Chain A
Amino acid sequence: DAGVIQSPRHEVTEMGQEVTLRCKPISGHNSLFWYRQTMMRGLELLIYFNNNVPIDDSGMPEDRFSAKMPNASFSTLKIQPSEPRDSAVYFCASSFGTSGYTGELFFGEGSRLTVL
Chain B
Amino acid sequence: KQEVTQIPAALSVPEGENLVLNCSFTDSAIYNLQWFRQDPGKGLTSLLLIQSSQREQTSGRLNASLDKSSGRSTLYIAASQPGDSATYLCAAPNDYKLSFGAGTTVTVRA
- Chain A residues packing against B (C-beta within 8 Å): 4, 31, 42-43, 45, 48, 50, 55-56, 91, 93, 97-110, 112
Main secondary structure of the interface of A (DSSP, over half): strand
Determine, out of B16-24, B59-67, B68-76, B96-104, the stretch whose residues face the partner at the interface: B96-104
Q: In the complex, how many residues of chain B place their beta carbon closer than 8 angstroms to a beta carbon of chain A?
A: 21
Question: Does B42 make an interface contact (CB < 8 A)?
Answer: yes
Q: How far is the CA of A103 from the CA of B50 in the complex (A)?
A: 10
Residues B20-46 near A (CB distance < 8 A): 31-32, 34, 36, 41-46
Asked if A102 and B96 sit within 8 Å, CB to CB, the answer is yes
Binding site for A on B (CB under 8 A): 31-32, 34, 36, 41-46, 49, 89, 91, 93, 95-98, 100, 102-103
User: Among the listed B32, B41, B43, B95, which residue makes an inter-chain contact with A91, where contact means beta carbons less than 8 Å apart?
Assistant: B43
How far apart are the CA atoms of A36 and B93 in the complex, in Å?
18
Please determine whether A102 and B98 come into contact, CB atoms closer than 8 angstroms.
Answer: yes
Distance of A20 from chain B, by nearest CB (Å):
19
7 new A-B contacts at CB < 8 Å, known A48-B96, A50-B96, A104-B46:
A45-B97, A98-B96, A101-B31, A102-B93, A103-B49, A104-B34, A107-B44
Interface pair A109/B34, CB less than 8 Å apart: no
